[in-house]
């Protein structure tokens, strides 16, 4: 990964692309008009994190994985959304295979003007970044690295499914097999030809192209609840979806969440949004933490056995959920 140096201009240009009749508009910094917006209830998202973790590590192919996937599916179904699954098999780093289950829930399906909201729901099978080498082959509970992003999606789905004023189509996608990339302890031959990470979103993006799916923009939630987290403007997000990045980060400043969304640039991250941008051709940003101190830029619990609900901060969940909700209310019609 490398870091990008970028100077923020005084005028932020907001230009949404693709389907719909949205026109280009420009707004000066700190003058984005705010529409009335409901409250994102972070405690609800926290309950979704705890529930996912109660199943245990959601490693693809395990009983915990199946039960959690069924639970996510049931939540979306009970909200009245149109739910579908993409079930397939993927090849991981060592040539073995894993089942893959991508879950999609759609709101306002008759509207071609769509927004994509997504996160991964699987758990890393190995705590290979844990300071204790004895934990390196243990699965992680993935409260932050998996469950937090899904939890924000589930709470956003609840709020938006009850919003009569939102007519824009919104698709909530939970990607599988994001976190089965080559472990740090592996010293054998890597047999998979593509990136060993983000395998579920690759399958989803290929299917999206085949089916002619389009969205004006997408937002990926990854590790959006960790204690002490802040979210820099990730490199590929700026490259592919800068207008939406500009809008979201400036909404955060105006809404009082600027501490969580500082106007600085972070690293280029290999994450699910890369497949959405490069294969599905949907401009997609990644809300992902950028820690400047500690063993990892993703935070101290990343790929360790300490990625548990006790290390989640509801204030971080609130900042992410409320700012994205405001962006949707500002944009959607």
pLDDT digits (tens, 9 = 90+) for 33-84: 899 999 999 999 999 999 999 999 999 999 999 999 999 999 999 999 999 9
Q: Average pLDDT in the 182-209 region?
A: 95
pLDDT digits (tens, 9 = 90+) for 198-239: 999 999 999 999 999 999 999 999 999 999 999 999 999 999
In the chain, what percentage of residues exceed pLDDT 90? 86
| pLDDT (0 to 100) of residue 294 | 81
Structure tokens at 253: 């400043």
From residue 214, alpha-carbon distances to 99, 105, 115, 271, 284 in Å are 26, 15, 9, 20, 12
Alpha helices in 105-229 (DSSP H): 149-161, 199-211
Q: Is the pLDDT of residue 181 over 90?
A: yes
From residue 330, alpha-carbon distances to 35, 36, 67, 181 in Å are 5, 8, 36, 37
Distance CA 327, CA 331 (A): 6
Residues 6+ apart with CB under 8 A from 197: 178, 179, 180, 181, 270, 271
Question: If pLDDT is split at 50, 70 and 90, which confidence band does 149 have?
Answer: very high
Structure tokens at 87: 């079930």
If we measure between CA atoms, which residue out of 158, 106, 119 comes closest to residue 325? 158
| pLDDT (0 to 100) of residue 19 | 35
Question: If pLDDT is split at 50, 70 and 90, which confidence band does 30 have?
Answer: low
Structure tokens at 89: 């098999």
| pLDDT (0 to 100) of residue 194 | 82
Residues 6+ apart with CB under 8 A from 56: 62, 64, 141
Alpha helices in 193-288 (DSSP H): 199-211, 235-255, 272-278
Distance CA 172, CA 81 (A): 10
CB 307 within 8 A of CB 140: yes
**DSSP for residue 168:** S
248 three-class SS: helix
Q: Average pLDDT in the 15-22 region?
A: 36
**Please, what are the domains in the chain?**
11-180+191-331 (3.40.630.10)
CB 32 within 8 A of CB 250: yes
Burial of 257 (0-12, 13-18, 19+ CB in 10 A): buried
Q: Is the pLDDT of residue 185 over 60?
A: yes
Distance CA 9, CA 226 (A): 30
| pLDDT (0 to 100) of residue 1 | 29
| pLDDT (0 to 100) of residue 130 | 98
Q: Is the pLDDT of residue 27 over 70?
A: no
pLDDT digits (tens, 9 = 90+) for 261-289: 999 999 999 999 999 999 999 999 999 99
Q: Is the pLDDT of residue 295 over 90?
A: no
In the chain, what percentage of residues exceed pLDDT 70? 91
Q: Average pLDDT in the 235-248 region?
A: 98
Q: Is the pLDDT of residue 154 over 60?
A: yes
> Considering just the CA atoms, what is the radius of gyration of the chain in Å?
19
Q: At what angle do helices 314-331 and 235-255 cross, to 10 degrees?
A: 90
Q: Is the pLDDT of residue 15 over 60?
A: no
Higher pLDDT, 144 or 7: 144
Q: How high does pLDDT run on average in the chain? A: 91
Structure tokens at 12: 């932020």
| pLDDT (0 to 100) of residue 324 | 98
From residue 324, alpha-carbon distances to 105, 214, 233 in Å are 18, 20, 15
Distance CA 312, CA 320 (A): 13
């Amino acid at each position: 990964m490398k870091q990008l140096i970028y100077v923020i201009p005084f005028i932020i240009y907001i230009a949404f692309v693709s389907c719909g009749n949205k026109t280009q508009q420009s707004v000066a910094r700190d003058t984005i008009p705010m529409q009335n917006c409901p409250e994102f209830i972070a405690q609800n998202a926290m309950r979704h994190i705890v529930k996912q973790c109660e199943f245990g590590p959601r490693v693809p192919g395990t009983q915990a994985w199946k039960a959690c996937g069924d639970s996510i599916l049931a939540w979306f179904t009970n909200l009245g959304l149109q739910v579908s699954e993409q079930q397939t098999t993927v090849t991981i780093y060592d040539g073995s295979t894993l089942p893959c289950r991508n879950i999609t829930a759609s709101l306002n399906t008759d509207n071609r003007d769509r927004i994509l909201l997504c996160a991964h729901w699987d758990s890393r099978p190995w705590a290979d970044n844990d300071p204790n080498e004895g934990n390196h082959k243990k699965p992680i509970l993935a409260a932050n690295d998996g469950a937090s992003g899904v939890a924000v999606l589930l709470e956003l789905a609840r709020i938006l499914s009850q919003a009569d004023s939102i007519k824009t189509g919104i698709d909530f996608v939970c990607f599988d097999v994001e976190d089965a990339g080559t472990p740090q302890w592996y010293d054998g031959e890597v047999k998979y030809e593509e990136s060993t990470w983000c395998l579920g979103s690759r399958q989803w993006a290929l299917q999206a192209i085949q089916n002619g799916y389009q969205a004006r923009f997408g937002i990926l939630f990854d590790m959006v609840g960790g204690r002490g987290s802040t979210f820099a403007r990730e490199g590929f997000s700026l490259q592919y979806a800068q207008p939406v990045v500009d809008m979201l980060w400036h909404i955060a400043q105006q809404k009082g969440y600027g501490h969580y969304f500082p106007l600085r640039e972070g690293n280029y991250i290999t994450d699910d949004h890369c497949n959405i941008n490069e294969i599905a051709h949907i401009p997609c940003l990644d809300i992902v933490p950028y820690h400047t101190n500690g063993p990892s830029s993703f935070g101290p619990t990343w790929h360790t056995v300490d990625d548990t609900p006790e290390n989640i901060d509801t204030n971080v969940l609130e900042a992410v959920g409320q700012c994205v909700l405001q962006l949707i209310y500002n944009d959607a019609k």
